[in-house]
């Protein structure tokens, strides 16, 4: 049984994991960069320590050796990686394993398979799950990318093989866009994920982006927790997500569940994961990737199923089966969907300036609330300083209601109740 857990992340997801740990009676250890010295999340842990003192703001959270050293010095039993940063890094999971520390997520072997988008696509094909036409190996350089683009036909999209969260992606509609986009994606991928492998896919115009949440335990059990519709995006980053995805026919959704569970079982997947699909206008679906970690939008699934996904992650990592009463999922039939949920992301971005990130000090903050309203934030409070170094996410607003119309009205009301001064936000855009 775990006693002490290090959260190798920052902001709202770190706070989310701290809370799940407290609910299980676990001691929490936070790590923070120089730039996060005065951030709220570090005060929510039982202990907090500076990491990557001589590294860049991003480099601090990618410092595998430094994180493992801190974990050893503080005698932690497990590390939760959150999302982003090292959450899909097989080398980090392997370093945890070699240090005798449990990585709260899939094994390094599975991460090497499913955390890499190209390998995951190959596995999907082996399971007879349809995939979008694209390159099977990392592209060597911009010239090869251009040749492949000509082969597939425009539009195409370049993707980071080790990426996630909408970063490391560029659409190209013309030949002269390919080489500059390739260089941009490669640079972004290296900085954000420590892996600059790039691949290409044919770009589907206006598809539905549907993802299926799964949980797997060490006993070989896998269940799905239905789906989320994440089609509303900006720059390939999700802005609004909801469940259930009622705009997709029930038979297509059933096919997505079956394919998601099939892939997870094929690799012996353990812990929480999300399999993402695109559904075109003709109703054909294609596997695009698996995120072998918790996702930003996991709150939507929690609201409609009543399953605490982060607590389940920790318990599964301890070796508990899905049937453990604290998870309560002995069979697929034990998972039920109730009502509708929507998540909206409030960010410190200026819609009037092409959504450029804004920085500064929050001089006034008032949040929304009420029945069926959940707020997950990391820097949403009066006096918070928003830095230019990290993601612009300020707070996630997740609402629940019995009807879709009701949940939309509730989400709009909760957003309009928010009052923020000192930095520009996207509130007017999402409300």
pLDDT at 164: 65
Dihedral over Cα of 140, 144, 145, 149: its sign? negative
* Separation between Cα atoms, residue 309 and residue 301, nearest integer Å: 8
pLDDT score, position 6: 98
What is the structure's pLDDT at 166? 67
Is the bond preceding residue 155 a cis peptide, omega within 30 degrees?
A: yes
Pick the catalytic residue from 148, 238, 396, 410.
Answer: 238
Of 196 and 260, the structure prediction assigns the larger pLDDT to 260
Calpha distance 180→165 (Å, rounded): 21
pLDDT band at 154 (very low <50, low <70, confident <90, very high): very high
Which two tokens mark 366?
């008032």
Taking only the tens place, the pLDDT of each residue in 35-66 is: 999 999 999 999 999 999 999 999 999 999 99
User: Binning pLDDT at 50, 70 and 90, where does residue 137 land?
Assistant: confident
Residue 193: which pLDDT band, with cuts at 50, 70 and 90?
Answer: confident
Q: State mean pLDDT over 402-419.
A: 96
Average pLDDT score, the chain: 94
Which pLDDT tens digit goes with each residue over 208-224? Answer: 999 999 999 999 999 99
What is the per-residue pLDDT across 68-118, written as a single tens digit (0 to 9) for each? 999 999 999 999 999 999 999 999 999 999 999 999 999 999 999 998 888
Cα–Cα distance, 153 to 147 (Å, whole number): 10
Is 238 among the catalytic positions? yes
Check pLDDT > 70 for residue 358: yes
Tokens representing residue 77 in the block? 């039993």
Maximum Cα–Cα distance across the chain:
57
Q: pLDDT per residue over 279-330, tens digit each?
A: 998 899 999 999 999 999 999 999 999 999 999 999 999 999 999 999 999 9
pLDDT, tens only, 163-190:
666 678 899 999 999 999 999 999 988 8
Q: What is the C-alpha to C-alpha distance for residues 287 and 265, in angstroms, rounded to an integer?
A: 15
pTM: 0.88
């Amino acid at each position: 049984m775990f006693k002490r857990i290090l959260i190798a992340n920052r902001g709202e997801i770190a706070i989310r994991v701290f809370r799940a740990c407290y609910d299980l009676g676990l001691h929490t250890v936070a790590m923070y960069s120089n730039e996060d010295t005065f951030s709220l999340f570090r005060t929510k842990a039982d202990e907090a320590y500076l990491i990557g003192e001589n590294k860049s703001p991003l480099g601090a959270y990618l410092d595998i050796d430094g994180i493992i050293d801190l974990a050893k010095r503080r005698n932690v039993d497990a590390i939760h990686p959150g999302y982003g940063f090292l959450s899909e890094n097989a080398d980090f999971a392997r370093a945890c394993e070699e240090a005798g520390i449990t990585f709260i997520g899939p094994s390094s072997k599975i991460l090497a398979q499913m955390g890499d988008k190209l390998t995951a696509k190959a596995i999907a094909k082996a399971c007879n799950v349809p995939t979008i036409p694209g390159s099977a190996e990392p592209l060597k350089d911009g010239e090869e990318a251009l040749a492949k683009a000509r082969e597939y036909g425009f539009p195409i999209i370049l993707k980071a093989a080790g990426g996630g969260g909408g970063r490391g992606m560029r659409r190209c509609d013309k030949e002269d866009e390919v080489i500059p986009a390739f260089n941009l994606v490669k640079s972004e991928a290296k900085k954000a994920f420590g892996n600059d492998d790039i691949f290409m896919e044919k770009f589907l115009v206006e598809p539905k982006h549907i993802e299926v949440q799964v949980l797997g335990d060490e006993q070989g059990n896998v269940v799905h927790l239905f789906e989320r519709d994440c089609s509303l995006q900006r720059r390939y980053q999700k802005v609004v997500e909801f469940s259930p995805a009622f705009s997709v026919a029930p038979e297509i959704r059933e096919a997505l569940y079956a394919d998601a569970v099939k892939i997870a079982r094929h690799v012996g997947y353990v812990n929480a994961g999300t399999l993402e699909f695109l559904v075109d206008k003709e109703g054909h679906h294609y596997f695009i990737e698996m995120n072998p970690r918790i996702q930003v939008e996991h709150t939507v699934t929690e609201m409609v199923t009543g399953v605490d996904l982060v607590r389940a992650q920790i318990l599964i990592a301890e070796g508990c089966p899905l049937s453990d009463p604290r998870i309560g999922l002995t069979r697929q039939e034990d998972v039920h969907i109730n009502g509708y949920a929507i998540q909206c992301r409030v960010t410190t971005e200026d819609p009037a300036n092409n959504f450029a990130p804004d920085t500064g000090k929050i001089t006034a903050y008032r949040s929304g609330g009420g029945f069926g309203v959940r707020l997950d934030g990391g820097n949403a409070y009066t006096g918070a300083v928003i830095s230019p170094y990290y993601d612009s996410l300020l707070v996630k607003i997740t609402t629940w209601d019995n009807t879709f119309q009701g949940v939309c009205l509730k989400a709009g009301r909760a957003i309009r109740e928010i009052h923020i001064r000192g930095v520009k936000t996207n509130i007017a855009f999402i409300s």
